[in-house]
Amino acid sequence: MSSNDVGVVLAHARALRRAARAGTMQSLLRGKKLALLSEADNGDAVLFTRAATELGAHVAYIRPSLTELSTPENVQNTARMLGRLYDAVECQGMPSALVYQVRCDAGVPIYDGIATCHHPTAKLAEQLGGDAPMVENRRFVLQAVLLSTIT
């Protein structure tokens, strides 16, 4: 992300935090369908699901069947199917090279662990400031990224 992109994401995250505190959060992703490809049903999966559903999106939890040993044709066909069914896909615990291959053919935003604590968005949450717990800041940053890439 460029420094300008970082500033925009942080500004949107702060606006989302203010709206949540005021009870005026809007369903800005209403009608959107997101997929969560993950083997684990852990805190990162819960964070992604909560961030998206608070904005009105529907999240489908899918166990990934793709591996590094999948044929290029299988990856391509799966990516195209995901692109037809979903408006965006979060991939957690998958090799980055495989996520890249899916991204090339899906035609929708494909995230590589955007809700995980190792993703650069977690660092942005530290820059958000305020007195909110870090997990809340991570959720607002994640929501800002989702809104900027899906709508």
1: nearest Cα among 144, 140, 150: 144
Longest Cα–Cα distance in the chain: 50
Mean pLDDT of the chain: 93
- Residue-level pLDDT at 39: 87
Residue 69 — pLDDT band, cuts 50, 70, 90? Answer: confident
Question: Is pLDDT at 145 greater than 80 in this prediction?
Answer: yes
Could you read off the pLDDT of 33-60 as tens digits, one per residue? 999 999 888 899 999 999 999 999 999 9
Q: What is the pLDDT of residue 95?
A: 93
Alpha-helix runs per DSSP H in 37-133: 43-54, 72-85, 96-106, 120-128
Residues facing 90 on adjacent strands: 36, 111
What pLDDT was estimated at residue 115? 95
Which secondary structure element, helix H or strand E, spans residue 60, and what is its range? strand 58-62
What are the residues facing 89 on neighbouring strands? 35, 110
pLDDT band for position 70 (cuts 50, 70, 90): confident
Amino acid 27: pLDDT:
94
The closest alpha carbon to 149, from 23, 52, 16, 25, belongs to 52
> What span, in angstroms and rounded, lies between the C-alpha atoms of 141 and 36?
18
Predicted pLDDT of residue 96: 94
pLDDT computed for residue 77 by the predictor: 95
Condensed to tens digits (0 to 9), the pLDDT of residues 100-134 reads 999 999 999 999 999 999 999 999 998 988 888 99
Q: Which residue has the higher pLDDT, 4 or 127?
A: 127
pTM for the full predicted model = 0.91
